[in-house]
Structure 1
Amino acid sequence: MTSSSTSRDITESRPDATSLDIGSRASDASDASSTASTIAASVASFLAGMDVLIVNVALPTIAADLGGDMAVQQWVVDGYTLLFAALLLLAGSLADRFGAKRLFLIGAGLFGLASLFCSFAWSMAALVFGRCVLGVASALILPASMSLINEANPDPRRRAWALALWGAGGASASAVGPLLGGLLTPIHWSLVFAINVPFCLFILALAPRIAPSPRRPIRFDWTGQALSLIGLSALVAGIIEVGAIGFAAPATLALLGVGVVSLGLFVFSQTKVAAPMMPLGLFRVRGMQVALQIGFIMIFNWYGMVFICTMFLQNERHMGPFAAGLVFVPSAFVTIAGNLIGGRIITARGAKFSITLGLAIMIAGFLFEFLTPAPIPVWVIATGLSVVGFGAAITTPAAAGVVLRSVDPAQAGIASAMFNTFRQVGGAIGVAVFGVIATFLPSLTLALRSVFLASALLLVYVLVFELTRWRG
């Protein structure tokens, strides 16, 4: 072989520098898109979670300015969570049909506009309406955010970290929300809504870096959507009215009856339509069973507890909004740390271990608060919130990962929507139920202790179910 031919062979066998450069740029672009998608999804998760609870600390001040009894204050919270929960399944289908990115950005824009409307609300009716629009926007954002993470992070290890950050956004918001509410309310209660706008603008600024999402031709179940919306709205309204006008009142019985019948018809309709909004077959998957129960009961407990805690701190301990918000500071930092640690635990030990550990920690936190003799010290509430928040921070990303791994990728959007629907339905019902408990019990101290005990018992049930019936 001549020297020239040898040189030519070496040159031909060497990778083309241009090809390497193109591949490197493509990899960098993919990494940048993945990072942008994860950050935007995590910020959106933070917003959706924060807006549930940031208003709690401000409720007494808002009621003093705009008027409203306990039932109206519950509607300020549940107007958001109810529409959020009722529309999540439809939003999951829309994310599959039109692309997660498009729906995500529409939701972020609507969230910012609705937040401005709430900040200028002139009456309780206007505020409740604005909160309902915020719930619609959150429904558009949340399932699309999980789909974006799934699309942008195909590697399981990277997806686990992305889900941990997404979970950190939602879980830390549950603790940061009351803190921000306490900081902003003394300035003016409208700021608890206006604070959302910069976050929405940040999400929209990341839009050019987020890769386009695939679209899937699917049909919509409008009958199921109508029945679920009517059923959930009537059921939650009926529970709230139990505390306002009594269980035996005709209006209460009518609302509860409409809710139960509509939800029963919804379940029946899902067996008859060609494209159900909630495929009942997913309930037969053990991983989905565990994740859905965890999502419902965790948020039922947390939202109800924070609602009663803020009432207890301000109405019974006579603390101001700022001081009441400070009670949630330790749990905010602990929850963020828990989500980051949770990602490592999931990677090292798997979802089942993470869920078991997180549930056990939450049970311990609730029992610690319940077993403390009355009067309940503020430091006990702060410590219990931190323990429960740490356990929830470990559990939430693990449960979200179970949802994504339990279904076919083509059903990721609808499965994510089901998971978040159960979470938000749990939150709406939790606020309604614990608000009724607070109405009938002689003191908020007794109501708070009842919340602690009920929450611990519900989590014990989920832990037993997970340990005895779920394999994997």
Structure 2
Amino acid sequence: MTKKTSPVPATAAAAIASFLSGMDVLIVNVALPTIASELGGDMAVQQWVVDGYTLLFAALLLLSGSLADRFGAKRVFMAGTALFGAASLFCSFAGSMAALVAGRCMLGVASALILPASMSLINEANPDPRRRAWALALWGAGGASASAVGPMLGGLLTPIHWSLVFVINMPFCLFILVIAPYIRMSPKRPARFDWVGQTLSLAGLAALVAGIIEVGSLGFAHPVTLLLLAMGVAALAAFAWSQSKVAAPMMPLGLFRVRGMQVALQIGFIMIFNWYGMVFICTMFLQNQLGMGAFAAGLVFVPSAFVTIVGNLVGGRIITARGSQFSITLGLCIMIIGFAFEFLSPTPIPVWAIATGLSVVGFGAAITTPAAAGVVLASVDGSQAGIASAMFNTFRQVGGAIGVAVFGVVATFVPSLDVALRSVFLASALLLVYTLAFEALRWRER
């Protein structure tokens, strides 16, 4: 007789992992000026501290989902958790920027292992649909709130010592490993790996992001910059071609013809492109131009952290009452208002205006994200739900990596960080206006 296990340990572990993987994207932002003053490094190096994480995270998500199927979600989840703790410890003792970037890359690999497996653990531990819906809501809330809580925690911990923004991960990892024996072992399933596609996508994304970052350091016309950009475009083009030829593609091209997927993937990419880029430049502006300490800069993000949590709760009710299409439209409009408000603020942009704008944008994002995820699942049949969700999350993380790279380059070419931040707000608002128009046209064609 099979021993019955409680779903609580698996659900708790998955929710914590979702929070960790989201938090580590942005917790380091507030600490970057302090880290740079101690370890050295220009704007490009600081961009790599952020993008070393997001790039590996994004590029390996699809492969990690296949690993979870083949070797069992619990095994991959625990391996990722152990690596996350070890990489966090490595980062906390980093004595140079090169070592820190290497540690951040390891953290990105660990997050890629954790996130898809955590969702599988929830499905396995909660066979009842109602309990599963509750568990997935908890998992989603962990990830959504982390993007706002991360900068806040970074501001609280950096004044003590910047290494604590990495040390804080370890108690969470240890807790997950302690409750591991109470999580049921996952089944293994046959899974085929698209090694050609994985290699090309990783090489293409790395070269493309590196090329964008080097535009700010070396200039667009520099041979190294041009070579990196050309390599990135060529590798990504080869990746797209390979996906139409292999038997088990990691990113089936047919899904791009589904209208709901077109809308959701674009929303996911642009929203995180805007948010990650904005937080990166915002923390630089608050500390380097306004002269705020890390603690004070972190407090600017506190209102948006709470508003985002409220937005997740409200967003679920709006989706239930009015549907995903209405929720997406409403959320995008709220975000556009938030970015426009910040762009039109006096010069230099006041701290209260930044905090208010961040809160408005965060509230809109909290309404839009779960609705877009719902559109993904509603647009494909059950056999493609896993790969469609993985594509959505991949596009979001790729958007974040490119957003930091692009907006970091903008900051190197404009006369001040105030102008850079204002440029970010304007660009973000215009991109969302385009997304809103695209969404309206695609829904009208249905």
- TM norm structure 1: 0.90
Aligned to 1:447: 420
2:80 equivalent to 1:107: yes
For 2:182 and 2:255, how far apart are their aligned partners in 1?
A: 33
Q: 1:213-232, aligned counterparts within 5 Å?
A: 213-232=186-205
Contact kept, 8 Å, 1:147 with 1:413, in 2: the verdict is no
Secondary structure of the residue aligned to 2:246 is coil
Shift of residue 218 of structure 1?
Answer: 2.0
Shift of residue 377 of structure 1?
Answer: 0.7
- 2:10 maps to which of 9, 14, 37: 37
For 2:434 and 2:82, how far apart are their aligned partners in 1?
A: 40
2:246 equivalent to 1:273: yes
Aligned to 2:155: 182
For 2:176 and 2:371, how far apart are their aligned partners in 1?
A: 25
2:77 equivalent to 1:77: no
Q: 1:119-198, aligned counterparts within 5 Å?
A: 119-153=92-126, 158-198=131-171
Contact kept, 8 Å, 1:278 with 1:418, in 2: the verdict is yes
Shift of residue 367 of structure 1?
Answer: 1.0
Instruction: String of CA shifts for 1:170-216, please: whole Å, max 9, x gaps.
Output: 22111111111111111111100010011112222333343443433
Aligned to 1:47: 20
Aligned to 2:61: 88
2:265 equivalent to 1:292: yes
For 1:348 and 1:206, how far apart are their aligned partners in 2?
A: 37
Structure possessing the higher radius of gyration over alpha carbons: 1
Q: How many residues align?
A: 445
- Change in CA separation of 1:289 and 1:162 when aligned onto 2, cut-off 3 Å: farther
Deviating above 6 A after TM superposition, structure 1's stretches of 4 or more consecutive aligned residues are none
Contact kept, 8 Å, 1:365 with 1:387, in 2: the verdict is yes
Aligned to 2:226: 253
- 1:235 maps to which of 195, 208, 213: 208
- Change in CA separation of 1:468 and 1:195 when aligned onto 2, cut-off 3 Å: same
For 2:125 and 2:439, how far apart are their aligned partners in 1?
A: 30
Contact kept, 8 Å, 1:164 with 1:339, in 2: the verdict is no
- 1:469 maps to which of 439, 442, 446: 442
Q: Residue type matched to 2:251 in 1?
A: M
Secondary structure of the residue aligned to 1:247 is coil
Contact kept, 8 Å, 1:144 with 1:413, in 2: the verdict is no
Aligned to 1:363: 336
Aligned to 1:4: none
- TM norm structure 2: 0.95
- 1:426 maps to which of 355, 376, 399: 399
For 2:167 and 2:209, how far apart are their aligned partners in 1?
A: 27
Structure 2 gap ranges (5+):
none
Instruction: String of CA shifts for 1:281-326, please: whole Å, max 9, x gaps.
Output: 1212222222211111111000000000000000110000000000
Structure 1 gap ranges (5+):
1-21
Aligned to 1:6: none
Contact kept, 8 Å, 1:163 with 1:400, in 2: the verdict is no
- 1:319 maps to which of 276, 289, 292: 292
Shift of residue 163 of structure 1?
Answer: 3.5
2:33 equivalent to 1:67: no
RMSD: 2.0
For 2:186 and 2:254, how far apart are their aligned partners in 1?
A: 26
For 1:193 and 1:455, how far apart are their aligned partners in 2?
A: 29
Instruction: String of CA shifts for 1:105-138, please: whole Å, max 9, x gaps.
Output: 2111111110011001111111110000000001
For 2:218 and 2:169, how far apart are their aligned partners in 1?
A: 35
For 1:115 and 1:395, how far apart are their aligned partners in 2?
A: 31
Shift of residue 429 of structure 1?
Answer: 0.3
Secondary structure of the residue aligned to 1:254 is helix
- 1:436 maps to which of 378, 387, 409: 409
Instruction: String of CA shifts for 1:319-369, please: whole Å, max 9, x gaps.
Output: 000000000010111111111222222233322222222212111111111
2:237 equivalent to 1:264: yes
Q: Residue type matched to 2:16 in 1?
A: V
Shift of residue 406 of structure 1?
Answer: 3.2
For 1:275 and 1:45, how far apart are their aligned partners in 2?
A: 27
- Change in CA separation of 1:140 and 1:380 when aligned onto 2, cut-off 3 Å: same
For 2:317 and 2:11, how far apart are their aligned partners in 1?
A: 17
Q: Once structures 1 and 2 are overlaid, which stretch shifts more, 214-223 or 295-304?
A: 214-223
Secondary structure of the residue aligned to 1:217 is coil
